[in-house]
């Protein structure tokens, strides 16, 4: 049934729209309300015998390629916050190229939708040789990644067919938020934060439904941008990964140059590109970085930047510099889960841009769903 496009024209479109259901499946049986101490807990069966080792590791190394790397990057801050273990990021091919140091005391977390990406598997062999505890996060039961890692979590997002990954991305983030909760354990000092995240997770499917209502608005925006050469996406903090992932979607399916930019680096190069022609998406939803993003918007506006600002519902007036920017409003959720909501308008934008520009949505030229050769 999942293989059928149903009422949709393309698999990518279907997979974007089925995210309320895929996220529900990802969380099914894993978030337990109540329990002995009445607080809510997370149960990840595939990790339970290894949580102590992960907690005691000297660092956690996230490894992946493409969208899976971006999902890991989105999850890095919450894993660091709740576990207290430093997290470093590795693009799989680069780890292998450098033969970067991996130690017995490391936990290496491999993220791959297919579980068959050659670079990720090679990095896994390398980490196994070096004695790290290897954890797999994949959508594919029985994949090489699932078989070769010591333990792991299936994301259970359902079969993903479109080459551009969409629902697997949001499910990966949710799994890594649950991993952060599981590794963080039930320290009293974290209790309120943990409960807020679990409530946020449970609310996600309905909030994703709300974001999907932006479909027409994103189509209108795509019509405006149809002939552009380039699109920049600025983000920071939890949403740096959203900027990279939004830009990757636009690049890989709409075949438009697009770059995700860490807003904190704006003055170190990107600002030179800003003029009244180049469209720029700025992600400025409410979190600890909000006021910094407001200032970025002011500075881009002062250079006549053509801005499209993504903000929290009700914040239009505080981000649109006197109504001069186009605004995309999304619902608010706990900061570490906000990337799940924020990426969706960008997935929809990439989808509509692709259709309007007449490109192949599900099979972009030169790309493969799973890159099994090097
Ligand atoms: C290819 C796909 C991407 C995917 C990446 C990593 O480039 O086109 O959508 O993100 O591989 O794939 P994986 O299966 O390891 O997540």
User: Would you state the structure tokens that stand for residue 267, as one six-digit string?
Assistant: 């003055």
Confidence at residue 38, expressed as pLDDT on a 0 to 100 scale: 61
Confidence at residue 35, expressed as pLDDT on a 0 to 100 scale: 54
Ligand 1 centroid to residue 319 C-alpha, Å = 34
Residues 6+ apart with CB under 8 A from 202: 27, 31
Edge to edge, the sheet with strand 306-312 lists 257-262, 230-235, 279-284, 306-312, 326-330
The pTM (predicted TM-score) of the whole model is 0.97
Nearest atom within ligand 1 for CA of residue 368: 8
Confidence at residue 36, expressed as pLDDT on a 0 to 100 scale: 53
Q: How many whole angstroms separate alpha carbon 90 and alpha carbon 64?
A: 7
Task: Please name which of 353, 361, 348, 365 lies closest in space to residue 167, comparing C-alpha atoms.
Answer: 348
Confidence at residue 259, expressed as pLDDT on a 0 to 100 scale: 97
Measured between its terminal Cα atoms, the distance across the chain in Å is: 33
Confidence at residue 214, expressed as pLDDT on a 0 to 100 scale: 98
Ligand 1 lined by 68 (C-beta under 6 Å) = yes
Confidence at residue 32, expressed as pLDDT on a 0 to 100 scale: 83
C-alpha torsion sign, points 246, 250, 251, 252: positive
User: Would you state the structure tokens that stand for residue 370, as one six-digit string?
Assistant: 């799973």
User: Would you state the structure tokens that stand for residue 244, as one six-digit string?
Assistant: 């990279």
Nearest atom within ligand 1 for CA of residue 252: 8
Residue ranges of the chain with per-residue pLDDT less than 50: none
- Ligand 1 pocket, mutate which of 63, 66, 71 (most atoms under 8 A from CB): 66
Residues 6+ apart with CB under 8 A from 170: 19, 22, 23, 157, 208, 340, 343, 344
Task: For tokens 């308008």, name the residue.
Answer: 345
């Amino acid at each position: 049934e999942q293989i059928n496009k149903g009422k949709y024209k393309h698999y990518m479109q279907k997979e974007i729209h089925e995210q309320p259901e895929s996220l529900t499946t990802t969380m099914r049986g894993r978030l337990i309300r109540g329990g002995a101490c009445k607080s809510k807990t997370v149960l990840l069966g595939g990790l339970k015998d290894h949580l102590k080792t992960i907690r005691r590791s000297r660092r956690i190394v996230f490894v992946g390629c493409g969208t899976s790397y971006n999902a890991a990057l989105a999850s890095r801050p919450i894993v660091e916050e709740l576990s207290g273990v430093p997290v470093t990021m590795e693009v799989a091919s680069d780890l292998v190229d450098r033969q970067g140091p991996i130690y017995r005391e490391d936990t290496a977390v491999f993220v791959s939708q297919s579980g068959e990406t050659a670079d990720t598997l090679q990095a896994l062999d390398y980490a196994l040789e070096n004695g790290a505890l290897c954890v797999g996060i994949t959508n594919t039961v029985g994949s090489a990644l699932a078989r070769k890692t010591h333990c792991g979590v299936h994301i259970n997002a359902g079969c993903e067919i479109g080459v551009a990954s969409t629902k697997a991305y949001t499910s990966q983030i949710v799994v890594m938020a649950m991993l952060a909760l599981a590794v963080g354990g039930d320290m009293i000092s974290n209790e309120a934060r943990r409960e807020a995240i679990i409530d946020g997770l449970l609310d996600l499917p309905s909030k994703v439904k709300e974001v999907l209502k932006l479909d027409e608005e994103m189509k209108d925006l795509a019509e405006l941008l149809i002939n552009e050469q380039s699109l920049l996406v600025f983000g920071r903090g939890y949403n740096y990964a959203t900027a990279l992932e939004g830009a990757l979607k636009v690049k890989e399916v709409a075949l438009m140059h697009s770059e995700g930019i860490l807003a904190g680096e704006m003055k170190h190069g990107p600002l030179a590109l800003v003029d009244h022609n180049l469209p720029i998406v700025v992600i400025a939803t409410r979190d600890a970085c909000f006021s910094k993003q407001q200032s970025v918007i002011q500075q881009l506006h002062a250079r006549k930047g053509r801005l499209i600002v993504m903000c929290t519902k009700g914040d239009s007036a505080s981000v649109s510099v006197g109504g001069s920017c186009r605004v995309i409003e999304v619902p608010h959720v706990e900061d570490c889960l906000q990337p799940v909501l924020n990426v969706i308008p960008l997935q929809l934008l990439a989808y509509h841009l692709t259709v309007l520009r007449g490109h192949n949505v599900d099979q972009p030229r030169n790309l493969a769903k799973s890159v099994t050769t090097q």
